[in-house]
A and B are shown apart, each in its own frame.
Chain A
Amino acid sequence: MAGPSRANTPGPVPAIRVLLADENPSRAGALSDTLRADSSLVVIAADPGMPLMDAVRHHTPDIVLVDMSRADRDALDSVRALSGAGLEHPVALFVDEDDQQLMEAAFEAGICSYNVVDTPPRDVKPLLRAAIALYARFQQTQNELQAARKTISDRQTIDQAKRLFMQNEGCGEGEAYRWFRKRAMETARRIPDIAAEYLSRHRKDDTR
């Protein structure tokens, strides 16, 4: 088990055990680096591939920070509703009804936090804030990558469709492009979509 156990922690305030459940290794690494700077925390990274419920049973954390896209989050979610979950202490989704902004930011960034219900209330918010900031940064990079990829593939689609159109209609590039632009304007759709449609329809014709 990673980190010292609660009993060995010196001082009057026991350390808060935080379990990070994130299967994205670089994001999990960055978040655990950030949180480890706080000496009042024991940061435990959940073993990749281990079901969340097993990780909670094994590491007995006070707080669990969970990547929302993890499908087994629902299992943690239901501990209170179901018997036989096999957990000594029930856990519950952390919710701050008075801080709507924080909650919305967390869910938008794709992270949520579960607390062990029977332990004394602790302030989860600074932890959650740190996690939100990090997740949002990763999300932005991801979106930029996706946008870049989409732009490239859009351009390839338009080029292919134009070439096919020029071949089929025996016209020049300018006329081909104008045809796609006109169709896009008439149907209130994007040129890459019109181009993709043209490609799929005419390729189908070829195979007949």
Chain B
Amino acid sequence: MSHPLRIGVLRLADSAPIVVARNAGLFERHGLSVDIAVSPSWANIADGLVWNGLDSALIFPPLAMMTALGRRGRKTGLRPVQAVSFGGNMIVLRGPARPGHDWTAGRAGHRSFRNWKADIGRTPRLAVVHAYSTHLLILTRFLSSIGISVQDDVQLKIMPPDRIIDALSAGSIDGFCAGPPWGEDAARQGLGFVVAGSAAICPGHVEKVLVLNDQAHIEAADLSRTLLAALHDAIALCVDPANADDIARQLAAPLAKGGLALPFAATRAIMPDASLPDAMVFKSRSWDHEALGWMVSDMQGLGWISPEDVVSLERLGWLTQEMAR
């Protein structure tokens, strides 16, 4: 390629493999020249992939698929290279948890929600990180498991994950579903309590995937292979408990020093070596189409995509033929 490969990420702890690969010189070792673009919001990542601002990104599958389908202006041959992280999202609600409240599915959870809503004193405003996010799907599933409709019973707000803590503490939202470390950070700051997370709602779900756009594919035939190799090495570093302190410190470093300016304590607490159910999971393994099954069916259920779109996604390499049928 004529320019360094531009990879977009957000200020999230599960961007770790990309940050670590850069800081440890793993991209260079595999002959890649990479620029990391720490982007202000998911819309910027999606638009960057469509309009030649980015060649690649670490992104959640629903937005990547919607972008590939041309819902941000024009179809792009956006393809998954590899799943990088699994789970790690948390649903947090404002305030101290009422002692003895039960948030399990069914009647108990429903009652807890009603009581909490009465404490809040308004239609709860819940934030997710993008309209086409895994977080919205997870939140929808959780609310529906306790008999609450995401359409009628709450007001959804959209904001980038790194703005959520401020919004919760300013009172402009009453809860959220977001990626690491923001749920843990909210709980640590006493702004809210965790009611559920990826592990409880969709155990082991694919969270971030590395995508590459068509242009990048065409310009460098073995790009996928070298990128995969660098990521594989980075993930090995990320999952080694001996590195957890150091990697949390790298992520907490300021942007100008190669970090993501994340809160250190919360980030350290959800590193892969932690025993929390929603600790981050990084895995280096080949692309598993089936893992997207629930997302695709929820996306259809919400009317985001049609059966024809599912066929297009199969053609672009996101799904298998069986899934598109």
Contacts and interface: CB of A to CB of B under 8 A. Distances in A.
A100 B156 CA distance: 33
B321 interface: no
A189 to B, nearest CB: 9
Contact of A78 (B52, B158, B160): B158
B113 interface: no
A73 B41 contact: yes
Interface stretch (B42-50, B77-85, B268-276, B286-294): B42-50
B176 to A, nearest CB: 14
A73 B72 CA distance: 14
B52 to A, nearest CB: 5
A74 B130 contact: yes
Given A78-B130, A95-B74, A84 B51 contact: no
B158 A82 contact: yes
A74 B41 contact: yes
A104 B44 CA distance: 13
Contact of B40 (A71, A93, A100, A188): A71
Nearest to B73: A95
B40 A70 contact: yes
Contact of A75 (B28, B53, B159): B159
Contacts of B40: 68-71
B157 interface: yes
Nearest to A78: B131
Q: How large is the interface on B (under 10, 10 to 19, 20 to 34, 35 or more residues)?
A: 20 to 34
A81 interface: yes
B14 to A, nearest CB: 19
B188 interface: no
Consensus secondary structure, chain B interface: loop
Contacts of A24: none
A93 B72 contact: yes
A77 B160 CA distance: 12
Interface in A74-127: 74-75, 77-78, 81-84, 93, 95, 97, 100, 103-104, 106-108, 112
A108 B53 contact: yes
B224 to A, nearest CB: 24
B151 interface: yes
Contacts of A97: 73-74
B155 interface: yes
Interface in B4-48: 28, 40-44, 47-48
Contacts of B74: 95, 97, 100
Contacts of A75: 157-159
A72 B159 contact: yes
Contact of A107 (B51, B130, B155, B304): B51
B47 A81 contact: no
A93 B131 contact: no
B193 interface: no
Contacts of B42: 74
A97 B156 CA distance: 30
Given A78-B130, A95-B74, A108-B53, A71 B158 contact: no
Given A107-B53, A112-B47, A71 B160 contact: yes
Contacts of A103: 51, 73
Interface of B: 28, 40-44, 47-48, 51-53, 72-74, 129-132, 151, 155-160, 162-163, 304
Given A72-B163, A84-B151, 17 more contacts: A71-B162, A74-B130, A74-B158, A74-B159, A77-B131, A78-B130, A78-B131, A78-B158, A83-B151, A84-B156, A95-B72, A95-B73, A97-B73, A103-B51, A104-B53, A106-B51, A108-B51
The 9 closest A-B CB pairs, nearest first, are A78-B131, A95-B73, A81-B131, A107-B51, A78-B158, A74-B43, A74-B41, A75-B158, A71-B160
Interface of A: 68-75, 77-78, 81-84, 93, 95, 97, 100, 103-104, 106-108, 112, 188
17 contacts: A68-B40, A71-B41, A73-B41, A74-B43, A74-B131, A75-B158, A77-B131, A77-B158, A78-B158, A82-B131, A82-B156, A93-B72, A97-B74, A103-B51, A106-B51, A107-B53, A112-B47
